[in-house]
Amino acid sequence: MLDVFSFSAAGLILAQSSESPSDLFLYLVVGLAAVMLVVNTVEVGRNDAANLVNAVFGARVLTRRWAVRVAGIGVVLGAVVSSGVVETVRKGIFHPGQLDPTQALTVYIAVYIVNTVLLYAYSAFGMPVSTTATVVFSLLGAAFSMNFFEVINWANSTTVISGIVCSIFLTGIAAFLVQRAVRGAIRERTQHLPTLLLHGAWAGGGMAAGLCYFMLLRGMASVDFVRRFNETVVAKYGDMIVVLVVWAVFAILIQAMLVIYRKKAAKWLFPILAIIGMLCMAFAFGQNDLANCASPALAIFNLYEHRDAGVAVATRVPIPIWGLFACGLLLVVGMRTKNAERVTKAEVRMGSMGDHVKLWAPNWCIVLGHAVLKLRGRGPALAPRAVRTERGKTTHYDTLRACVIMSVSASVIATASGLELPVSTTYVAFAAVVATGMADRIFQRGDAALKLGRAIWVVFSWFAAAVIAAVASGLVCRGIYHLGVVGILAALAANITVRMVVARRADAQEKRVRAETEERMHPEDFALEEE
């Protein structure tokens, strides 16, 4: 998908092109590419990577700071071995040879300028958005603006977009079914030893087996020892037999731990599985989503360095490990920012089992949420009541639900990485949160309409982001193509101005949401003294 970017990188260094950019334009764009690589990678960390810690943080298994530190290890390791997805992104959506250097540079830099501010704006308001989808539609919009209809590889573009859509439904269905099954058996007794002696082995073993199968056998299928195992053992006995054997092994281990360590094992079974799931999802994220931010600039630098060898040779040069490692570190930097914290908290509260949450959604979304709730039966909520920790923090999920969110999300993303198909971590994580919430019937009490309205607003914003990305990239691309250096400077000025306005308004909304939540929870404190 983002291979499109290699398209621009390829076009950038085309020695045989008929039109060459001016030296000033060339150096400005190449220098700006280095800056935008850093900025865009951090922005992806602000938004997409925030989804990695939502379940563990929401269940209060770890503080957000420690969750980010632990997940950061998985992100960096996944980024280092992400070359398969990056290569898919580097050469598929556009045909590089049909662009001259100036056209390619223009499309590339326009998309980067638009995407960095778009991701920043969504993160500032705590809104999750897909970097994969925004990049694809930005490229399509920029290409259309330059009349490059025939340059687009429609088959690959359709594959990427359909893969994103399918991953949402696949995650939602799997998360709902798994959550309903384990909740029906364990209920709220996630640390009750007799219950876990009866159900903990098959439930925990099943999630561990799923992570092992999808992360190793599917997500890392290109690794030599995994490939050999698939070609010998899996090919001989079949996937189902292998999964059942792995499931049985984990179930026996968990049962043994419960029998030996009793209450200690019962207390830590699901928290540990949730942390392992977070690490797996972080690894899968590093494998997959690095392409969204790093592939374009890394491809350009490779092509620039090897331009004398020609485009065909340069695009086959592997991206250096140090480059992937550095980008993985930048993703972690983005995860530690204030905007990333807003995205995490907003998504956790949207799927919270608590009655009252600090959230914002437009009135029309809340009204629509009320209408949807009236269509559903009013069965009892299956999720336990939210409690507060010793530090006074609300537990928005229990550890059982956190395990399901992490294991299902990680499995879907890892499978996509193994197929070298970019998908949206944001959409997958969001689908898992909503689906497990529906399975637990969290939309039956308290601020149910607000939480459902927020979910509607997020989904609506996904479509809005695609339209904004396409239109804005087209306009910026056209302006830069005609105005050259002046166009780039004007676009950068607009980027910075929008950032400043968004930051101010997002901070104001954050304060307003806090006040509105306090009023809903404690109306007596806001009542007028005089009638």
Question: What pLDDT is attached to residue 15?
Answer: 34
237 — pLDDT class (breaks 50, 70, 90):
confident
Structure tokens at 452: 């459902």
Q: What is the pLDDT of residues 423-439, one digit of tens each?
A: 778 888 899 999 999 99
Question: What pLDDT is attached to residue 180?
Answer: 93
287 — pLDDT class (breaks 50, 70, 90):
confident
493 — pLDDT class (breaks 50, 70, 90):
very high
Q: Which of 157, 152, 174 is nearest to 413 (CA)?
A: 174
What is the Rg, in whole angstroms, of the alpha carbon atoms belonging to the chain?
24
- Domain limits for position 200: 3-521
| Contact call for residues 3 and 84 (beta carbons, < 8 A) | no
The yes-or-no verdict on residue 511 having pLDDT over 80 is yes
HSE-CB at 477 with a 13 A cutoff on CA atoms is 29
First-last CA distance in the chain:
62
Domains contained in the chain, number: 1
Residue 41 forms part of a structural domain:
yes
Structure-model confidence comparison of residues 130 and 306, the more confident one: 130
Q: Determine the Cα–Cα distance for residues 373 and 293; give it in Å rounded to an integer.
A: 39
Q: Which of 459, 498, 463, 458 is nearest to 346 (CA)?
A: 458
Residue 529 forms part of a structural domain:
no
Q: What is the pLDDT of residues 478-489, one digit of tens each?
A: 999 888 889 999
Q: Determine the Cα–Cα distance for residues 324 and 329; give it in Å rounded to an integer.
A: 9
Structure tokens at 520: 């809903």
CB atoms within 10 A of CB 270: 27
The yes-or-no verdict on residue 314 having pLDDT over 70 is no
Residue 403, exposed/middle/buried by CB under 10 A (0-12, 13-18, 19+)? buried
Q: What is the pLDDT of residues 59-97, one digit of tens each?
A: 999 888 899 889 888 888 887 776 554 544 444 555 655
Question: What pLDDT is attached to residue 260?
Answer: 95
Q: Determine the Cα–Cα distance for residues 162 and 147; give it in Å rounded to an integer.
A: 24
Structure tokens at 318: 């592997």
Residues 6+ apart with CB under 8 A from 211: 276, 277, 280, 407, 410, 411
In the chain, what percentage of residues exceed pLDDT 70? Answer: 80
Q: Determine the Cα–Cα distance for residues 136 and 92; give it in Å rounded to an integer.
A: 11
Best mean pLDDT range from 30-34, 199-203, 319-323:
199-203
Structure tokens at 218: 């599917």
Residue 123 forms part of a structural domain:
yes
Question: In Å, how far are 30, 202, 225, 377 from 56, measured between CA atoms?
Answer: 40, 21, 31, 30
307 — pLDDT class (breaks 50, 70, 90):
low
CB atoms within 10 A of CB 5: 32
Question: What pLDDT is attached to residue 499?
Answer: 93
Question: In Å, how far are 167, 210, 457 from 172, measured between CA atoms?
Answer: 8, 16, 18
Q: Which of 146, 207, 156 is nearest to 182 (CA)?
A: 207
Question: What pLDDT is attached to residue 303?
Answer: 55
Residue 171 forms part of a structural domain:
yes
Structure-model confidence comparison of residues 198 and 5, the more confident one: 198
Average pLDDT over residues 115-119: 91
Mean of per-residue pLDDT scores for the chain: 80
| Contact call for residues 84 and 420 (beta carbons, < 8 A) | yes
Residue 497 forms part of a structural domain:
yes
Question: In Å, how far are 51, 65, 234, 309, 382 from 179, measured between CA atoms?
Answer: 19, 27, 28, 54, 10
Residues 6+ apart with CB under 8 A from 365: 453, 454, 456, 457, 460
Question: What pLDDT is attached to residue 342?
Answer: 86
Average pLDDT over residues 204-208: 91
Q: What is the pLDDT of residues 146-195, one digit of tens each?
A: 776 776 777 777 777 788 888 889 999 999 999 999 999 998 899 999 99
Q: Which of 308, 281, 339, 411 is nearest to 119 (CA)?
A: 339
Q: Determine the Cα–Cα distance for residues 450 and 355; give it in Å rounded to an integer.
A: 10
Residue 530 forms part of a structural domain:
no
Among the ranges given (402-416, 464-478, 515-529), the one the predictor scored with the smallest mean pLDDT: 515-529
Residue 531 forms part of a structural domain:
no
pTM to 2 decimals?
0.84
Helices 23-47 and 101-124 cross at an angle (nearest 10°) of 30
Question: What pLDDT is attached to residue 89?
Answer: 46
| Contact call for residues 269 and 200 (beta carbons, < 8 A) | yes
Q: Which amino acid is at 530?
A: E
| Contact call for residues 112 and 409 (beta carbons, < 8 A) | no
DSSP labels for 446-457? SSHHHHHHHHHH
Average pLDDT over residues 326-334: 85
Residue 526 forms part of a structural domain:
no
Among the ranges given (21-35, 358-372, 435-449, 497-511), the one the predictor scored with the smallest mean pLDDT: 21-35
Question: What pLDDT is attached to residue 100?
Answer: 66
Residues 6+ apart with CB under 8 A from 173: 435
Q: Which amino acid is at 298?
A: L
Residue 518, exposed/middle/buried by CB under 10 A (0-12, 13-18, 19+)? middle
Question: What pLDDT is attached to residue 396?
Answer: 87
Residues 6+ apart with CB under 8 A from 485: 24, 25, 28
Question: What pLDDT is attached to residue 434?
Answer: 92
Q: Determine the Cα–Cα distance for residues 90 and 88; give it in Å rounded to an integer.
A: 6
Question: What pLDDT is attached to residue 338?
Answer: 85
HSE-CB at 56 with a 13 A cutoff on CA atoms is 28
Residues 6+ apart with CB under 8 A from 89: 1, 2, 3, 4, 5, 6, 291, 292, 295, 422
Question: What pLDDT is attached to residue 519?
Answer: 64
